[in-house]
Amino acid sequence: MPVFVQAESWKWLSQVKGIGDSDLLREIKAFLTKDFEQAFEVTRTQKLLSRSRSLETTRSVCAELVEWVKRSPLGRK
């Protein structure tokens, strides 16, 4: 079943698009905790985790997020 991105999620995206990787990661974690489906869809479709042209940066950001998910309440779903 497709997930439709709500206007509030697009607003969040426009606010975080230009911030640094560590701040972006913090914002994604907070959004995932608040509204997992919307955060996942926006992060996935807008390729926020791979926005850097550096493969090493992308790997680092993704690895940090994976480790956080494993420890978070989201990891038990």
Residue owning tokens 């919307």: 38
CA 14 to each of CA 22, 24, 53, 60, 71: distance values in angstroms, whole numbers, following the listed order: 17, 12, 20, 23, 28
Q: How many domains does the chain have?
A: 1
Confidence band of 76 (pLDDT split at 50, 70, 90): low
Q: Is residue 15 domain-resident?
A: yes
Q: Is residue 2 domain-resident?
A: no
Q: Is residue 50 domain-resident?
A: yes
Q: Is residue 19 domain-resident?
A: yes
Q: Considering the entire predicted model, what is its pTM?
A: 0.82
Single-letter amino acid, residue 20: G
pLDDT at 1: 67
pLDDT at 11: 94
**Mean pLDDT over residues 23-36, rounded?**
92
**Mean pLDDT over residues 38-52, rounded?**
90
Q: Is residue 27 domain-resident?
A: yes
Q: Is residue 1 domain-resident?
A: no
* Domain of 67, in residue numbers: 7-76
Confidence band of 75 (pLDDT split at 50, 70, 90): low
